[in-house]
């Protein structure tokens, strides 16, 4: 993934800075994790592209190159304590990004490029597995599933690629895995995390023409991305 290394370096730098700032070992928010329910919000960046699988023995010899840009994430958090080391998190939010698809097996410039702008309602349900707290630091891993509603979807549009419209499905399902660190500060808990998000279903809406040079060669097209989130709880 492009810029994946940048995201990882960013979270490592932020983590190191906060660790250094807490070297005095004063324990903040000592009873924070004893609450059954608490709330928060998150801000972040994302870098999404598509995984593309092709049908076998397609006469077009297809090749689709995906160029992604960096988008943003924003959302709310509801955290339920199930166990001293396990939390269930509901994190509804908005995700926005843009991708450009280059169909290199199509010769004409007008037909070979499609821009896909997407704004999703992202609704994940995530299990968070944390270590025991070490002073003001608590590493964790997480895993979950999500439902994504694509506000930019043109699934019901009767026009397809023959009219310049690349169509995507409205409702999609994802799974995500990640890791992060909780930092307990004086007034709140700060939690940077990095996540991988992957589509479970084919998001492509096929063209009406069963021999379409854009969609007929594709067996599966699904989102895959890296999220860098900063949570405040």
Give the CA distances from residue 75 to residues 94, 166, 221, in Å, rounded to whole numbers and listed in that order.
6, 28, 26
The string of pLDDT tens digits covering residues 21-40 is: 455 578 898 899 999 999 99
Domain ranges, ordered by start, for the chain = 4-232
What stretches in the chain show pLDDT beneath 70? 1-24, 57-59
pLDDT for residue 11: 55
This prediction has a pTM of 0.82
pLDDT for residue 5: 57
Nearest alpha-carbon partner for 121 in 91, 94, 90, 155: 94
pLDDT for residue 61: 81
Domain 4-232 part of CATH 3.20.20.140: no
pLDDT for residue 1: 47
pLDDT for residue 109: 78
């Amino acid at each position: 993934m492009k810029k994946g290394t940048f995201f990882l370096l960013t979270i490592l730098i932020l983590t190191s800075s906060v660790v250094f700032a807490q070297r005095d070992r004063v324990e903040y928010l000592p009873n924070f994790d004893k609450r059954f329910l608490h709330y928060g919000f998150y801000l972040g960046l994302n870098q999404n592209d598509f995984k593309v699988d092709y049908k076998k023995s397609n006469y077009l010899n297809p090749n689709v190159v995906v160029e992604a840009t960096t988008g943003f994430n924003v959302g709310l958090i509801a955290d339920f304590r199930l166990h001293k080391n396990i939390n269930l998190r509901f994190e509804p939010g908005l995700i926005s990004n843009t991708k450009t698809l280059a169909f290199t097996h199509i010769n004409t410039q007008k037909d070979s490029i499609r821009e896909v702008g997407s704004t999703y309602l992202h609704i994940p349900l995530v299990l968070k597995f944390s270590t025991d707290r070490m002073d003001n630091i608590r590493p964790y891993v997480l895993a979950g599933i999500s439902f994504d509603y694509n506000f930019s979807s043109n699934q019901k549009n009767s026009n397809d690629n023959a009219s310049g419209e690349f169509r995507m499905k409205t409702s999609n399902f994802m799974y995500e895995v990640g890791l992060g660190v909780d930092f307990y500060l004086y007034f709140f808990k700060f939690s940077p995390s990095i996540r991988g998000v992957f589509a479970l279903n084919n998001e492509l809406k096929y063209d009406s023409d069963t021999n379409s040079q854009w969609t007929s060669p594709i067996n599966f097209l699904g989102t895959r991305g890296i999220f860098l989130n900063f949570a405040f709880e």
